[in-house]
Structure 1
Amino acid sequence: MTHLTREEREARGAAARVLLPREALGDLGAGDSRPDPIELLVSQGTTRLPELVPLRYGRMATSPFAFYRGAALLMASDLAAVPDSGLDVQLCGDAHMSNFGVYGTPERRMLFDLNDFDETLPGPFEWDVKRLLASVEVAARSIGVDERARRKIITDVAKTYRTAIRDLAGMGNLEVWYARIDVDEFLREHRDDLGKAQVKRTTSTVKKARTRDHLRAVSKLTEVVDGRRRFRSDPPLVTSLEEILGDEAARIFATAMGDLMRAYQSSLEPARRHLLSEYRVTDMARKVVGVGSVGTRAWILLLEGVDEDDLLVLQAKEAQSSVLEQFLGASEYTQSGQRVVEGQRLMQAASDALLGWQRSTGIDGIERDFYIRQLRDWKGSAVIEEMQPDGFRRYGGLCAWTLARAHARSGDRVAIASYLGGSKAADEAFADFAAGYADRTERDHSALTAAIGSGRLEAIHGV
């Protein structure tokens, strides 16, 4: 790896303005020549569980913001149709507002960070920034913010990213690596700025997140049947192995998943490998998760430690190819679960102690990649659609700072800061893009509801 001086890195950022002038960050590209958005969504369904795909469409049809959450492939296709800066970072790949939140670290601190990495892949930094800012615009419309106020919010959030990456560019490598938003420290430092109402709402979210631990997961998801604790069936959201396969086949598959759990330990560091070896798998079920992920295979596994009161719930979630790979090239990792985990470890300030990956043969005999983590570990997210405008603006700023810090860990922060510069040029262009892309999202959402209404697509609503 060539070691560039700060001056050379600044020159690299300035040169990127020739490839992609900052004003061009507002270009939508494609237009009438873009692929049919419905056909792109349908193409994703070919690798998913067919009985769950209608549920995905139903969730996406709820609102333009819900549609946006599930439309990462559509946006990747659109972003690939315009020139890029050439300044690559580890992309989240789906950096919308609902993919940020709080979670507990192995040291039991509460951090605010990105929390979804299914689409992570190296690529142009502005792809993530555009994904975030367009989500701010779409969500702001959903809570009734007027056009003038939306423009101010978007440019403020864009400015936060730009100034954050500029500040991070002035730091040393270790200082950047240790940068993070500790929620308790943040509330202490900004209590007066936030105001009583915002502090109360934030404190409530954090308090609720702290109750979302392994004990709460066990209490909510399991019951005791004939003296054995097992997952409570609630199809299609939670479906037992027996309901999917029948009793005998379920026992065989459960044994195979036990083998998966033992093999996955090799992706953990030795101390955590030892911790997990103290548990055994006692039950498993299929669980529907998210919006964009609906239809991919996601299992929850109940593990028992020293006795029936020492329980842990893990999630084994299928990792398919990133939606970015068909536009940016294949990942360096041939195992998609490893792609997700390594991207998460690179971008997050701290990651789940039991985060790992493994490849397993599924019910249908096909090998698939999974990543494994604790189902709940002090995890919590704000309900974007219920925010007030001032809190919404502040939350957008937190997301922008966090994204800048994640990019600074993996990319050339000095070059990106040099490219964005000290003026508002990039902020205004990003805001132009966000407004235009929100219009496009609303049209795509209407196309989805029309396809459902006409019978072209089947949808399950309200689940």
Structure 2
Amino acid sequence: MATPDVESAAEAHPSAAEIGRAARRQASRSELGQWKPGPDRADPIAILERQAATRVAELVRIRHARMAAGHFPFYRGAPAIMAADLAAGPSTGLTVQLCGDAHLSNFGLFASPERALVFDLNDFDETLPGPFEWDVKRLAASLAVAARANGCDDTAAGAAAGAAATAYREAMIRFATLGETDVWYQMTDAQQVADLITPKSRKLIDKVTTKARSRTSLQALDKLTEPGPDGTPVIRHDPPLLMPVPKELLAEVDSVLADYRRSLPEERRILLDRYELRDIAMKVVGVGSVGTRCFIALFTGRSTGDPLFLQVKQAEDSVLANHLNASIFRHQGHRVVHGQRLTQAAGDIFLGWATGPDGNFYYWRQLRDMKGSVTIEDMSGAQLHQYAILCGHTLARGHARSGDRVAIATYLGNGGSFDRAMTEFALAYADQTATDHEKLLAAMDSGRVDAAHES
């Protein structure tokens, strides 16, 4: 399908188009491609240390070990470092609801409420309103880092990053020509994913799709539980990755559950009431999230005994908060839920928030709801290139829901200036990531940073 010309949208919405042109004067597209650390650049290890101060100490050691494993794991765990770098660069001032951590591993498949598989962003821990290009830069650089880690040369790495930028630009121009509700109803289902990629890469997506359909609460019941003393299932403990909840927190579960229930739409409360909480445990997840408090809760249906697993994740201030306007939400779990609901085309029906007995903020979501993602380390350069197109298109759709899509499309333009700038930035920031990773290894060797691998 031919990409609509941005001029048609600009003619229909001249005031929005002028905002986009003014943004070019504020920060040109070529300027966005420049990256060179300044002499006053914050120490990346100090940023990690500040994050560690609010996290569970024994789990922070695991986080550092996971980040030390390679350039891409380090990049995944370092959104706070990149946020400081982005804040030091030029800004278009064209605001959207940022994902805040839009690297390529934070896209994937999951089930819509209608039980169709959809492809979308799936991590909003850092979400906050901010300049649209921050998310695009985070995605583009992640592709360059991942491509290099997979053995690709800089030509292939730059091509993947540029493909994401091109897909973002072309999709945003198309969205600029659509009506308001038409944009809101846009989504990418599993069939559209298959249509967007080449036949050579389709086998990879088919594999992920098949696996995603099997990842349900019933499958989690078999993998994560064992029979309890009375024969009913309880969560199987596997320290340090899956551990019992401290008794002082367990005693307050009922009040936390009631708080979470109040955050749900009224009809969802009725659904939640049809389940009974059976067990809860602490669980280590991800890379960047390691050290924050995370739990999984097992519920069973009161009538049929069907299982439901919910994940309860601590929500801290976004890593973007020190560099952008403060969130309008005091409750950080509410901030995450709002950003996810605003950005995703189809939402989790159990998404909500609550305050824990420890005073920390949390958000709740389904643990396994036909969720699936590609294994980045297994992807060839050609597959990364195709996946980049899919992610760039998806990111644009999320941004078009919350930002001025005509102004952004006008800023981006019909040519390839923005695409080339993102390619240049991605390769330069991949170099920076390699340098910062070496600093982490040196800090571990010196004893400044403690790390412990999981057993």
TM-score by length of 2: 0.95
Separation in structure 1 between the aligned mates of residue 282 and residue 71 of structure 2, nearest angstrom: 28
Cα distance in 2 for partners of 1:186, 1:144 equals: 25
Q: Does 1:98 find its partner at 2:90?
A: no
Q: CA deviation at 1:83?
A: 2.2
* 1:223 aligned residue: 226
For 2:396 and 2:260, how far apart are their aligned partners in 1? 31
Please list every run of 5 or more consecutive structure 2 residues that lacks an aligned counterpart in the other structure: 1-10
1:408 aligns with 2:400: yes
Distance in 1 (alpha carbons) for counterparts of 2:176 and 2:163: 20
Query: Deviations for 1:148-173, whole angstroms, at most 9, x for unmatched residues?
Result: 22222222221111111011111111
Are 1:108 and 2:115 matched, yes or no?
yes
SS of 1:52's partner is: helix
Does residue 202 of structure 1 match 2:205?
yes
Cα deviations by residue, 1:403-453 (Å, 9 ceiling, x for unpaired): 000000000010001011111111111111111100000000010011111
**What is the DSSP-based 3-state SS (H/G/I as helix, E as strand, rest coil) of the residue aligned with 2:289?**
coil
One-letter amino acid of the structure 2 residue matched with residue 163 of structure 1: E
Deviation at 1:389, TM superposition (A): 1.6
Alignment-derived partner of residue 249 in structure 2: 253
Q: Aligned partners of 2:29, 2:357: CA distance in 1, in Å?
A: 47
Contact between 1:29 and 1:82, CA under 8 Å: does it hold in 2? no
Partners of 2:373 and 2:30 in 1: CA distance: 33
What CA RMSD, in Å, does the superposition of the two structures yield over aligned residues?
1.5
Q: 1:346 aligns with which of 323, 329, 342?
A: 342
SS in 2 for 1:326: coil
SS of residue matched to 2:451 = coil
Distance 1:107 1:308 in 2: 21
Gap change, CA 1:298 and 1:214, over 3 Å in 2: same
Moved >3 Å (runs of 4+): none
SS of the aligned residue for 2:252 comes to helix
Amino acid at match of 2:42: P
State the SS of the aligned residue for 1:113: strand
Aligned residue number for residue 283 of structure 1: 279
Write the distance in 1 (CA, Å) between the matches of 2:183 and 2:30: 29
* 1:272 paired to 2:264: no
Secondary structure of 1:90's counterpart equals strand
Q: Provide the aligned length of Structure 1 versus Structure 2.
A: 444
Distance (Å, rounded) in 1 between the aligned partners of 2:174 and 2:182: 11
Match of 1:86 in 2: 93
Equivalent positions of 1:83-232 (< 5 A) are 83-187=90-194, 189=195, 194-195=198-199, 197-227=200-230, 228-232=232-236
Other-structure match for 2:428:
436
Summarize deviations over 1:338-383 as a string: whole Å, max 9, x none.
0000000000001111000111222xxxx11100011110001111
TM-score by length of 1: 0.93
Shift, 1:14, TM fit: 0.5
Q: How does 1:4-23 map to 2 (within 5 A)?
A: 6-23=13-30
Q: Which residue of 1 aligns with 2:70?
A: 63
| Aligned partner of residue 296 in structure 2, secondary structure | strand
Counterparts of 2:229 and 2:66, CA distance in 1: 36
Are residues 129 and 355 of structure 1, via their aligned partners in 2, closer, same or farther at CA, if it must alter by over 3 Å? Answer: same
Q: Does 1:389 align with 2:385?
A: no
Distance 1:49 1:308 in 2: 37
- Aligned residues with identical type, % of pairs: 48
CA contact (8 A) 1:104 1:378 kept: yes
Report whether the alignment pairs 1:458 with 2:454: no
Instruction: Note the residue ranges of structure 1 that are not aligned, 5 or more in a row.
Output: none
